[in-house]
Amino acid sequence: MRRSEKVLKIKEIFDIEYYDAKCSLDFDTPHQLLVAVQLSAQCTDKRVNIVTKDLFRKYTSVYDFANADIEELKEDIRPCGFYKNKAKNIIASSKDIVEKFNGELPQTMEEMLSLAGVGRKTANLVLGDLFGVPGLVIDTHAIRLTNRFGLTKYKDPYRIEMDLNKIVPDDYKMRFCHQLVYHGRRYCMARNPNCEECPAKALCKYYETKRKD
């Protein structure tokens, strides 16, 4: 089966299983989503949502974050881990948005990548969820699952993104990535995946190999 055909078969299953898949980070404004995504690196979305509940009450706009005291912000986000670097990037990127884009989140990949500490994964998520720009969010779930399904042979996020861009339809890219997160949490865990219960096991290269062992 061609990889593009397999994606459509997976889509049929995922659209039933995870019809309501969406970003699991809580936010009310575009900039809040960016901050939440920055905090989510090496941290669970659940913990980020706990932290941002108070954080977004304290810092109510991009201007508040741009003018934040870095030591104070570090303490505010400490539970998310890597708080020193995250605080630095949140303040710096907020200043970039204020100074370069008049306080409005940019809407192109090039402009998003010009923000301090923003990489392709973050940019694709923000652009896709906020502005409908087709993109693939290559997080740990996407890396693991697309390899297990046999949709790519690469481990590097950028190479995976470029590879999947060829086979995943534009209007499905963002939903596919959110569905991969849901599937990774429910069945396809990093350790001890629940292959026998997986509704997409017939399409999975990893399951096929596992059965032969």
Give the residue numbers annotated as catalytic, written as ranges. Answer: 121, 139
CA–CA distance, 135 with 45 (Å, rounded to integer)? 20
Dihedral, CA of residue 194, residue 7, residue 12 and residue 208, to nearest 10: -30
Residues 6 or more apart from 168 whose CB is under 8 A from it?
7, 136, 176
CA–CA distance, 21 with 19 (Å, rounded to integer)? 6
b/e 125-151 (16+ beta carbons within 10 angstroms → b): bbbbbbeebebbbbbebbbbbbbbbbb
CA–CA distance, 30 with 184 (Å, rounded to integer)? 26
**Which has the closest alpha carbon to 135: 143, 124, 147, 120?**
124
